[in-house]
């Protein structure tokens, strides 16, 4: 009988306009019935040439483009770019600025994970999660708007510190949010963690072993869900992360469910870190005092001639770091992000290489989707938490 019936695989195109691909990702699928034989991602639809453009902008101008990479976590991108630039320039950041940076990037991690949770859940069919997650994320967006006037394209960090000090009632608003938010995480978990439909759709799906995950270069929650407890905040602390008490959640099975559990646990740890930054927020300067390379505080421009001159020169001519190379990895919500900057002594980076976590993580999709059902592919894409702005750059 098998000789008489001829079967062959079918090639199906998914995307680039597909709601569950979270942007313009195209996947060419080879299907055997409903089973995936091979999944080949095609990217580049959102390519804007940020690395090339950065070579033609000053360091401060180039920083504004990092907002457009992972537009769900612009604070983390800004921080990574600024840390590399500061290492090139050789300037120390005052403690207050460091603490505010940690507070904002951890709020950013919560916001990014909330978007992930909402969209991932709606992909699998838990519609109500999106509304709850975006309700809380909106408060974080309001906080960002209060601090810098923008919700997504924040560009709030500067060489040596921050663009401006945080507003007077900001810490109180963050505290109110944290108090409101803590019980909300439990609510999400009651809706999903032991929900039978959720378990059926996620447990054992898109599994990847620790060895494969390392080999494929996965980083961030996607790697930790496979059981490798690597967190850059612990191994290479930056911005004073060594002062905070937090744990690194690690999964065991490396499936969609473990990636969900790891991210939920990370939200709780981020809440802990934000609380600690609120408790210890030092007073003092929000930007370093190094007039040749650091923008003077805005209010001094009206009274100090020198500040005005330095401001003018830094904005018009740009900062000129000595020739050299720098790379500071940062634990972004998606994984390791970093900017390998090469300076030739001019005001513009000679080379600005972006290490994009989503780009590298997406490469594991083929491996995870192999042999899975077509419907599970949606769950796998969602669990990788990709942002196409960063993949295509």
- Interface residues with another protein (CB under 8 A)? 11, 13, 28, 40, 43-44, 47, 49, 51-53, 55-56, 212, 214-217, 219, 228, 230, 232, 234-237, 323-327, 329, 336, 338, 340, 342, 350-351, 353, 355, 359-360, 363, 392-393
In the complex, what is the shortest distance from the CB of residue 119 to another protein, in angstroms, rounded to a whole number? 24
In the complex, what is the shortest distance from the CB of residue 15 to another protein, in angstroms, rounded to a whole number? 13
Q: Which of 393, 374, 391, 272 is nearest to 334 (CA)?
A: 391
In the complex, what is the shortest distance from the CB of residue 148 to another protein, in angstroms, rounded to a whole number? 29
Three-state secondary structure along the chain? CCCCCCCCCEEEEECCCCHHHCCCCEEEEEEECCEEEEEEEECCCCCCCHHHHHCCCCHHHHHHHHCCCCCCCHHHHHHHHHHHHHHHHCCCCCHHHHHHHHHHHHHHHHHHHHHHHHHHHHHHCCCHHHHHHHHHHHHHHHHHHHHHCCCCCCCCEECCEECCCCCCCHHHHHHHHHHHHHHHHHHHHHHHCCCHHHHHHHCCCCCCCHHHHHHCCCCCHHHHCCCCCCCHHHHCCCCCHHHCCCCCCCCCCCCHHHHHHHHHHHHHHHHHHHHHHHHHCCCCCCECCCCCCCCCCHHHHHCCHHHHHHHHHHHHHCCCCCCEEECCCEEECCEEEEEEEEECCCCCCCEEEEECHHHHHHCCHHHHHCCCEHHHHHHHHHHHCCCHHHHHC
Q: Give the nearer residue to another protein in terms of CB position, either 55 or 189.
A: 55
Q: Give the nearer residue to another protein in terms of CB position, either 14 or 163.
A: 14
In the complex, what is the shortest distance from the CB of residue 6 to another protein, in angstroms, rounded to a whole number? 18
Q: Give the nearer residue to another protein in terms of CB position, either 53 or 195.
A: 53
In the complex, what is the shortest distance from the CB of residue 388 to another protein, in angstroms, rounded to a whole number? 11
In the complex, what is the shortest distance from the CB of residue 381 to another protein, in angstroms, rounded to a whole number? 16
Q: Give the nearer residue to another protein in terms of CB position, either 111 or 223.
A: 223
Q: Give the nearer residue to another protein in terms of CB position, either 33 or 44.
A: 44
Count Cα neighbours of 51 within 13 Å in the Cβ-side half-sphere: 16
In the complex, what is the shortest distance from the CB of residue 340 to another protein, in angstroms, rounded to a whole number? 7
Q: Give the nearer residue to another protein in terms of CB position, either 66 or 202.
A: 66
Q: Give the nearer residue to another protein in terms of CB position, either 195 or 363.
A: 363
CA separation for the pair 190, 158 (Å, rounded): 41
In the complex, what is the shortest distance from the CB of residue 355 to another protein, in angstroms, rounded to a whole number? 5
Count Cα neighbours of 251 within 13 Å in the Cβ-side half-sphere: 28
- H/E element holding 307? helix 305-317
Token duo for residue 233: 């905040």
Q: Give the nearer residue to another protein in terms of CB position, either 151 or 353.
A: 353
Token duo for residue 187: 């609510």
Q: Give the nearer residue to another protein in terms of CB position, either 118 or 335.
A: 335
In the complex, what is the shortest distance from the CB of residue 303 to another protein, in angstroms, rounded to a whole number? 40
In the complex, what is the shortest distance from the CB of residue 156 to another protein, in angstroms, rounded to a whole number? 25
Q: Give the nearer residue to another protein in terms of CB position, either 170 or 340.
A: 340
């Amino acid at each position: 009988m098998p000789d008489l019936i001829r079967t062959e695989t079918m090639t199906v195109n998914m995307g680039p306009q597909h709601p569950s691909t979270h942007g313009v990702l195209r996947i060419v699928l080879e299907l055997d019935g409903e089973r995936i034989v091979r999944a080949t991602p095609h990217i580049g639809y959102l390519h804007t040439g940020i690395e090339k453009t950065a070579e033609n902008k000053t360091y401060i101008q180039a920083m504004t483009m990092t907002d457009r990479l992972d537009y769900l976590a612009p604070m983390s991108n800004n921080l990574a770019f600024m840390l590399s630039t500061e290492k090139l320039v050789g300037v120390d950041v005052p403690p207050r600025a460091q603490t505010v940076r940690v507070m904002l990037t951890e709020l950013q991690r919560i916001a990014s994970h909330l978007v992930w949770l909402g969209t991932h859940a709606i992909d699998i069919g838990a519609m109500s999660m999106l509304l709850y997650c975006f309700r809380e994320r909106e408060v974080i967006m309001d906080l960002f708007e209060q601090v810098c006037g923008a919700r997504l394209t924040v560009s709030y960090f500067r060489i040596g510190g921050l663009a401006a000090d945080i507003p007077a009632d900001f810490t109180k608003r963050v505290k109110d949010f944290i108090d409101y938010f803590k019980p909300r995480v439990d609510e999400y978990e009651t809706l999903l963690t032991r929900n039978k439909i959720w378990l059926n759709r996620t447990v054992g799906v898109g599994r990847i072993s620790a060895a494969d995950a390392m080999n494929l270069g996965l980083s961030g929650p996607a790697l930790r869900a496979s059981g490798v407890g690597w967190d850059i905040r612990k191994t290479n602390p930056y911005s004073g992360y060594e002062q905070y008490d937090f744990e690194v959640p690690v999964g065991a099975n490396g499936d969609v469910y473990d990636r969900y559990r790891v991210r939920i646990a990370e939200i709780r740890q981020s809440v802990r870190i934000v609380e600690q930054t609120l408790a210890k927020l030092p007073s003092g300067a929000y930007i370093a005092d190094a007039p040749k390379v650091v923008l003077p505080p805005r209010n001094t421009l009206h009274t100090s001639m020198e500040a005005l001159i330095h401001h003018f020169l830094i904005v018009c001519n740009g900062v000129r770091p000595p020739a050299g190379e720098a790379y500071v990895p940062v634990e972004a919500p998606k994984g390791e992000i970093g900017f390998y900057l090469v300076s030739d002594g001019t005001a513009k980076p000679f080379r600005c290489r972006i290490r994009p976590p989503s780009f590298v993580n997406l490469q594991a999709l083929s491996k995870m989707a192999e042999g899975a059902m077509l419907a599970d592919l949606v769950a796998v894409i969602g669990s990788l938490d990709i942002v196409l702005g960063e993949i295509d750059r």
